[in-house]
Amino acid sequence: MLLQIPDVLTPEETAECRRRLEAATWIDGNATAGHQSRLAKRNMQLAEDDPAAVEMGGLIASALAAHPLFVSAALPFKIFPPLFNKYEGGQNFGTHVDNAIRRSRVTGDQIRTDLSATLFFSDPDEYDGGELVVEDTYGVQRVKLRKGSMILYPASSLHHVTPVTRGARIASFFWIQSMVRDDGCRTLLFDMDTAIQRLAAADPLDASVVQLTGVYHNLLRRWAEV
Ligand code: NI
């Protein structure tokens, strides 16, 4: 499943992060690249332990934990401390799959990357190119969102970022270990939760709502690893 999560941060939080990102110290993006992606990656990043990155990453993680759509879709168990990147002057990231396991240099914690996320800090009209292209099971998806919004997609997908030929594309990127490892099972739970919420809004006392909520939790109990 490939899902847009709108308004992860408020416009004020987004503007404040953007101000800090413009003043930040950028280093070669290959600092965090895996063996294969090192050959494909041409961008800049904030150091993982840069205090600004750690602080903004904390803000993003807190906002996500309180975002109902994100929680329903990702069923997060662990969120990798968000990283930050910038593409400009023709920079791009060729086709790759993200590493399955990542260890944070800041926390030392290790996670399995079930989902990949990109949270945009530049609006689409600020740059040309810079599309995130994801090869989903439903075909090729091209993604470019307004700032403050995020795309969530299976970390197992092949993906790339097209060259930025004008302006700069600034974003945060990170991974989520889900309580439900399998994308198909997670998608079923998300669809079911969405339908239950809709039914409950119409009639919260409906016996079917109670029964379906029970089925949801019993499937989650069957599939979740925590
Ligand atoms: Ni990637």
Domain boundaries of the chain, sorted by first residue: 3-178, 183-223
- For residue 51, what are the contacts with CB-CB under 8 A and spacing of at least 6? none
* Cα–ligand 1 centroid distance for 135 (angstroms): 12
pLDDT confidence of residue 161 = 97
How far apart CA 97 and CA 127 sit, in angstroms, is 25
CATH topology of domain 183-223: DNA Excision Repair, Uvrb; Chain A (4.10.860)
DSSP string for 47-108: -TT-HHHHHHHHHHHHHHHT-HHHHHHH-EEEEPPPEEEEEETT-EEEEE---SEEE-TTT-
* Cα–ligand 1 centroid distance for 121 (angstroms): 17
* Cα–ligand 1 centroid distance for 200 (angstroms): 38
Q: What is the CA radius of gyration of the chain?
A: 18
pLDDT in tens, 45-91: 999 999 999 999 999 999 999 999 999 999 999 999 999 999 999 99
* Cα–ligand 1 centroid distance for 4 (angstroms): 17
* Cα–ligand 1 centroid distance for 171 (angstroms): 12
As its CATH architecture, domain 3-178 has Sandwich (2.60)
Q: Residue 99 corresponds to which tokens in the numbers above?
A: 């590493």
Distance from the first to the final alpha carbon of the chain: 22
Q: Tell me, rounded to whole angstroms, the distance of Cα 135 from its chain centroid.
A: 16
Three-state secondary structure call for residue 201: helix
pTM listed for this prediction? 0.95
Q: Are strands 132-136 and 139-143 parallel, antiparallel or unpaired?
A: antiparallel
pLDDT band at 137 (very low <50, low <70, confident <90, very high): confident
pLDDT in tens, 4-20: 999 999 999 999 999 99
pLDDT confidence of residue 66 = 96
Residues with a beta carbon under 5 angstroms from ion ligand 1: 98
Location of structure tokens 């990043």: 45
Maximum distance among all Cα pairs of the chain, rounded to whole angstroms: 59
> Does residue 35 carry a pLDDT above 90?
no
